[in-house]
Structure 1
């Protein structure tokens, strides 16, 4: 879709620091004061969609210029927040009506989407990510995702290496750390019956990589995770060295195929370089965190994403 004049809309939590930083970047680099929208404000704030001979007219939460939005950063959208009533069935009906209205109103905007909500929703599914990455040529650790305790036990006992476990879904529940399976965990495997869990062969790291993908522009950061506190999950230790790197051409090609197949123009990818030198794909988050990478390395990631929203191009001159 070609870029058209008009404001940029950021859909996220009202206290999201990434959204605030992007707001400042758009003002400073492009002279644009973006619109901000937290979907939890609806239906407390009024919304209207009117379709007449002159075309559509949208109003939501007092925002001005919604019909002319050129680009939308679908950053961290929440469902509408409907007050609880007397009957659960009534609450479910009202929630569905509110979500259907506000999503339809926004998703019908003829704007550049980062990311398209439909592609974003599908790409959040870990099994879709893993299978798409495999077909794209990425190396994947041996993986089992199951709610069958017997299957999980068999995988752990026959893997031939330590095994990690992590969550499979992407809800906003309490953060769940990736952890190694310990002997005591084997006695609790029955609990996965009600929460399908991801089990994966542990890759002994040379280092970890976090790659911010902005429409073909890679901002790759090497994380010296083995020098840290010994955590399996590299996201939990920012005390180690972070440094910009370039990916091998073969890895870049696989990531390009992956992101293109998923239909994502933006995403934060986690890779691990194993002790064997292989680049292993772990996951991609279409709404991932990256501000700390820019703080640690000076990479112009916000400027790159702002360029995508305004001009449809994530390249930054001088880099």
Structure 2
């Protein structure tokens, strides 16, 4: 846990809180940017909750409810928090003294109820607000909003019905891909071609739905990272032949800064507002004719690889959003 200023006396800045493991590079980079902008920051690891830090809700009769975040160094009330970045969570700690499985599950569930209740209560101070984050993770919600906001997406079926998938295939020429609706922790579930072998296994859909989508070829992948209203776009080209459908499989990708057409940038900004997000990593692809196609948005997507390759100041934008710092906040040349 990193602790800067916990006591707010009118002179010290309100602290921002980052929820992340202590070794998370994204969290450490944003924390550094916050300090350079004159803010203070606390990094809290959910794997240490409730053993090393805790949350208390006090709701006395006649008084407004108050959350306190309690650490070994001090206490921060919810009113004294400038913002929270819900970056990454790990399973809540359960004492080894609790040996019964049912009791351990109850402890974890109760920890989640208190922690998530606190995040919900913070509302728009969180990146991202919890209700918006949970809804925006769902691919059906994303597709419905993309079309409404002006983003083009490929013909798609999300279903556990083999007949509905076959109907889609019969209506369109060309190739298709398939991918999962979710990604397990610490795994990459890659996008794959819907080849003859896969088509022969469509009956397996009855066990679990997946996404079937028309394949878009001909151009580069585009990652558009948006913080509040500011978009940082990058063009990604995979070198390895086996990564043409999913650039994440190629560790040697080429990444360059990219300028989105105004209509595409505007559609992304509209979708960001429609989803209620403050941060989002949008994956698109430009085809051979120069058209942009929306694939998905990851409300907690990685971005440091883009920042390192393009020198776009994404971490600084997140830091400013957390402490409400002005856009003119700059890092001193001699800062280390």
CA drift of 1:97 comes to 1.7
Q: Where does residue 68 of structure 2 map in the other structure?
A: 58
Distance 2:105 2:203 in 1: 31
Q: Where does residue 17 of structure 1 map in the other structure?
A: 25
Unpaired runs of 5+ residues, structure 1, are none
1:42 aligns with 2:59: no
Distance 1:281 1:293 in 2: 19
CA drift of 1:166 comes to 0.8
Which of 126, 134, 139 is equivalent to 2:147? 134
Distance 2:24 2:290 in 1: 37
CA drift of 1:279 comes to 0.5
Q: Where does residue 189 of structure 1 map in the other structure?
A: 202
Q: Where does residue 70 of structure 1 map in the other structure?
A: 82
Q: Where does residue 244 of structure 1 map in the other structure?
A: 257
Is the Cα–Cα contact under 8 Å of residues 140 and 281 in structure 1 kept in the other structure? Answer: yes
Is the Cα–Cα contact under 8 Å of residues 107 and 117 in structure 1 kept in the other structure? Answer: yes
- Scaled by the length of structure 2, the TM-score of the pair is 0.84
Distance 1:14 1:258 in 2: 32
CA drift of 1:249 comes to 1.0
Is the Cα–Cα contact under 8 Å of residues 144 and 200 in structure 1 kept in the other structure? Answer: yes
CA drift of 1:179 comes to 1.1
Structure-2 change in CA distance of 1:57 and 1:259 (3 Å)? closer
Distance 1:77 1:314 in 2: 29
Match of 1:144, SS state, is strand
Match of 1:259, SS state, is helix
CA drift of 1:178 comes to 0.8
**Aligned CA-pair RMSD:** 2.6
Superposed CA offset, 1:7-47 (max 9, x none): 010012333221122122222x2233411112222233352
Match of 2:201, SS state, is helix
Structure-2 change in CA distance of 1:163 and 1:81 (3 Å)? farther
Q: Where does residue 176 of structure 1 map in the other structure?
A: 189
Which of 300, 305, 313 is equivalent to 2:313? 300
Superposed CA offset, 1:183-236 (max 9, x none): 2222333333222101110001311110110111110011234x5434210222
Q: Where does residue 271 of structure 1 map in the other structure?
A: 284
Distance 1:206 1:255 in 2: 19
Superposed CA offset, 1:135-191 (max 9, x none): 011101000111123333443454311111111124426320111112222233333
CA drift of 1:308 comes to 1.4
40-49 or 243-252, which deviates more? 40-49
Superposed CA offset, 1:72-105 (max 9, x none): 01112345344674354x4443332221112223
250-259 or 6-15, which deviates more? 6-15
Q: Where does residue 217 of structure 2 map in the other structure?
A: 204
Structure-2 change in CA distance of 1:259 and 1:46 (3 Å)? closer
Distance 1:174 1:132 in 2: 27
Structure-2 change in CA distance of 1:138 and 1:182 (3 Å)? same
Distance 2:115 2:13 in 1: 23
Is the Cα–Cα contact under 8 Å of residues 34 and 40 in structure 2 kept in the other structure? Answer: yes
1:166 aligns with 2:176: no
Distance 1:80 1:253 in 2: 39
Q: Where does residue 32 of structure 1 map in the other structure?
A: 39
Match of 2:190, SS state, is coil
